[in-house]
Structures are given as structure tokens and as C-alpha cells.
Structure 1
Amino acid sequence: MMLQLIELWESVQDFIHTGGNVLYIVALVLFIMWFLMLERYWYLKAVFPKEKKAIIARWDAREDTTSWYAHKIRDTWISEATTKIDQNMLLIKTLVAMCPLIGLLGTVTGMIAVFDVMATQGTGNPRTMASGISMATIPTMSGMVAALSGVFFSSRLEIRAKREKASLVDSLPHH
């Protein structure tokens, strides 16, 4: 088991060495993005149902549910819950959009390395040019893979958040 972990770590190190230091940035953004998405899933699955029940109980306990004042209280509670549901959603979308851009940064740094090799050694050394080209393509691929995973799961998360908001509105009848 320990040997497998060491081999896995070495292959990750080789991948990062081949792709350049930009892969550290892609990995950091990917980690933050997934941490936020998992936190939102946990909130919608475990925390929000309890908060929703509490809001419904407070609404049902009210004697006045028909006046203008009661409707404003209802709207305030819905707005507060919506704000909690939407927390970090914009940040998640921003991180998803940043992943391909960070990959493109890796492309630029890799191409700079290729041009640097060409300037110092000429075009006669294809091996060093190939390492620069792989340094240019691997971050692009990594950024795209990170963005694709984020796009799929963040859109599912957004659909679930919309469903929860609509469910809360439907659970608080206004007469």
C-alpha cells in the first residue's frame, strides 16, 4: 500500500514537472472549487432542510399570514434563505471559468520555454523543444479537465439550489 502511494506521488510529480509550475495553480484552484462545491452540497442536503423546517414552523405559528406586514416578513425570510443557498455560487462559477484561463497561462509559459530553447540552441535540438511543447499543452489540458468537472457539478448544484428555493416559496403559502 505504501509503495503504491509513493509510486502515485512520483507519477504526480513527473506530471507536474512535465507540465510546469502552472499546474500547481490549476490544482489549487481545483481544490478550492471542489471544496466549495462539496460544502454547498452538504449545506443543501444536511443543513438547509432543518432551516427550511424552522422557517415553515415560524410561518405556521404566525396568526397573521394575510396582511401586507406578514407578506413582507415572508419575503424577508425567503430572501435570507435564498442568500444562504446562493452563498459562494458566484465564486464557484468564477473558479470554473478561471481554470481554462490558468491552463492558457501554462500554454504561454511553455511556449516561452520553447522559444527560449530555440533562441539559445537553435532548432536543432528537438528533444528540448518537445519538453517545452508538452509544458505548453499539459496545463491547457489540465485546465480544461478541471473546468469540465466544475461545469457539470456546478450546474447540477445550481439546479438543486433553484429547486430548494422554489420549494421554500411553495412551502410558505400566502393567502
Structure 2
Amino acid sequence: GMDRSLWILDTIVTMAPLLGLLGTILGMFNAFQILGDPGNAPTKVTGGVAEALLATASGLFIAILGLFAFNALNNRVRVIMHQLDTLKVMLVNRMYPHYAAEPVKAGLKSRAA
């Protein structure tokens, strides 16, 4: 249906925190490498830690924005599908009133939780 393309946004929402976590691991790895080198001052570690925190924050920020967009678009698709279903039922009832003893009623399909 209309929601076939939403998988892309869903994938971005799922992948963003994972990529942020990967950046966090790489940033911490860099920080520990700096700590392990006797020639470096311990204050240089803050660059790796800042890199790790920035990666985490970026991943979460992208995921949060994407989740809002995904839910808004998904809701819009459901509303449009309901409107189309209602229109379809109205047209069928109007075109073929003698075939149905009771008019067909539109309704949303129940979703399994």
C-alpha cells in the first residue's frame, strides 16, 4: 500500500542510534589510545570522549526526529487509507444497491498489538 516507502524512514530511525553507538566506541577507543601513549598528556583524552559523546548525541537526535516523522507519516497513511476505504464502500453501495441486503460498512482493520 501507501506505506511501502516508510521502511526507509524506519530503517534510519533504527540505524541512527546504532551508528551513534559505533561512533561512541570509536571515540572511546581513540581516548584510550591517547591514554596508553606515554608521550601524551592525559588532558588530550577529552577530545576522544567529546567525540564519543557527540556521536551518541547525533545518533539519538537523528533517531528522535526520524521517529516523529515516521509516526506522523504513518498516521497520515492510515487516515488516507481509511478515507479511501470509506469512499470505496460508498461507491459500491451506490452502484450496486440491489446486490446487498445490508449496505457494506467501512471500518479500519484491527491491528494486532
TM-score, normalised on structure 2? 0.75
Partner of 1:111, secondary structure, is helix
Q: Does 1:93 align with 2:31?
A: no
Matched, 1:126 2:69: no
Q: Tell me what 1:150 maps to.
A: 66
**Separation in 1, partners of 2:67, 2:3:** 16
2:31 to 114, 124, 147: 114
Within 2, Cα distance between the matches of 1:141 and 1:147?
10
Greater radius of gyration (CA): 2
Cα deviation for residue 120 of structure 1 reads 1.2
Secondary structure, aligned partner of 1:137:
helix
- Verify the 8 A CA contact 2:17 2:60 in the aligned structure 1: yes
The percent identity for this pair of structures is: 30
- The reply to whether residue 159 of structure 1 matches residue 75 of structure 2 is yes
In structure 2, the residue matched to 1:56 is none
| Contact 2:35–2:42, Cα closer than 8 Å, also in 1 | no
What does 1:9-158 align with in structure 2 at a 5 Å threshold? 83=1, 85-121=2-38, 125-158=41-74
State the AA in 2 paired with 1:109.
Answer: L
Q: How many residues are paired up?
A: 91
Q: Distance in 2 between matches of 1:91 and 1:102?
A: 16
Give 1:126 shift: 2.8
| Deviation for aligned residue 1:121 | 2.5
| RMSD across aligned positions (CA) | 1.5
Q: Which has the higher helix share?
A: 1
Deviation by residue 1:19-61 (Cα, 9 ceiling, x = unmatched): xxxxxxxxxxxxxxxxxxxxxxxxxxxxxxxxxxxxxxxxxxx
CA distance in 1 between partners of 2:63 and 2:25 (Å): 18
Q: Distance in 2 between matches of 1:102 and 1:91?
A: 16
Runs of 4+ in structure 1 deviating by more than 4 angstroms, as ranges, are: none
Q: Which runs of 5+ in 1 are unaligned?
A: 1-82
* 1:49-78 Cα shifts (integer Å, max 9, x gaps): xxxxxxxxxxxxxxxxxxxxxxxxxxxxxx
